[in-house]
Amino acid sequence: VERFHRFVNEYLRSHGTDEKTTYSTYCTLVQRSCSRYNVLKRADGTSPHEAVFKFHHDISVLRPRQCRPGYSYIDQVLHSPSQGVLKSGMKILVRTTPTPSKLCPRWSEAEIVEPLGSNRARVKLDNNPVVVVHSVDLKLLH
């Protein structure tokens, strides 16, 4: 990784200008420097990288995080923080939908009766019966 960064920095220094570089120019220079780091094998079994450098290439730093070994996207998706946050008996604010007028309050106090999965909860409003509300319409009271 360090050698790759050194290579990219050297390319940016040699191809950059003395003036301030815009973000789009910087992105273009980085893309060009990464394309110079060509590790694809030719028909003879060598790569352009091997012709220039004497160290082994490591292209894994260019991969997105989701494609790197050891990264588990499924674990990240299955972990739902709202399931741990919404608990029975919590006092919350519920958005009143639809809002009757501009001057009426948008949020009313309620209590969670039961969390239903990761994005819904059964809540008891102060003046209404128990209703099921999506988590978008909930605010936690601290």
Domain boundaries, the chain: 2-78, 82-140
Of the CA atoms within 13 Å of residue 131, those in its CB half-sphere come to 15
CATH of region 82-140, choose from 1.10.1660.10, 3.30.750.80, 2.30.30.140, 3.40.50.300: 2.30.30.140
pLDDT for the residue numbered 123: 93
Q: Which stretches within 2-136 are classed as H helix? A: 2-15, 23-36, 48-52, 73-78, 81-85
Q: How far apart are CA 38 and CA 46, in angstroms?
A: 11
In sequence order, what DSSP letters do the residues of 16-27 get, joined into one string?
S-SSPPPHHHHH
pLDDT at 55 over 70: no
pLDDT for the residue numbered 21: 76
Average confidence (pLDDT) over 14-40: 72
Query: What digits encode the pLDDT tens for the residues 100-132?
Result: 788 888 888 899 999 887 788 899 988 778 999
pLDDT at 54 over 60: yes
CB 43: neighbour CB atoms within 10 A?
A: 5
Average confidence (pLDDT) over 76-93: 71
Q: How far is CA 130 from CA 99, 100, 111, 114, in A?
A: 19, 20, 9, 10
Average confidence (pLDDT) over 40-65: 68
Strands (E), 39-90: none
pLDDT for the residue numbered 82: 52
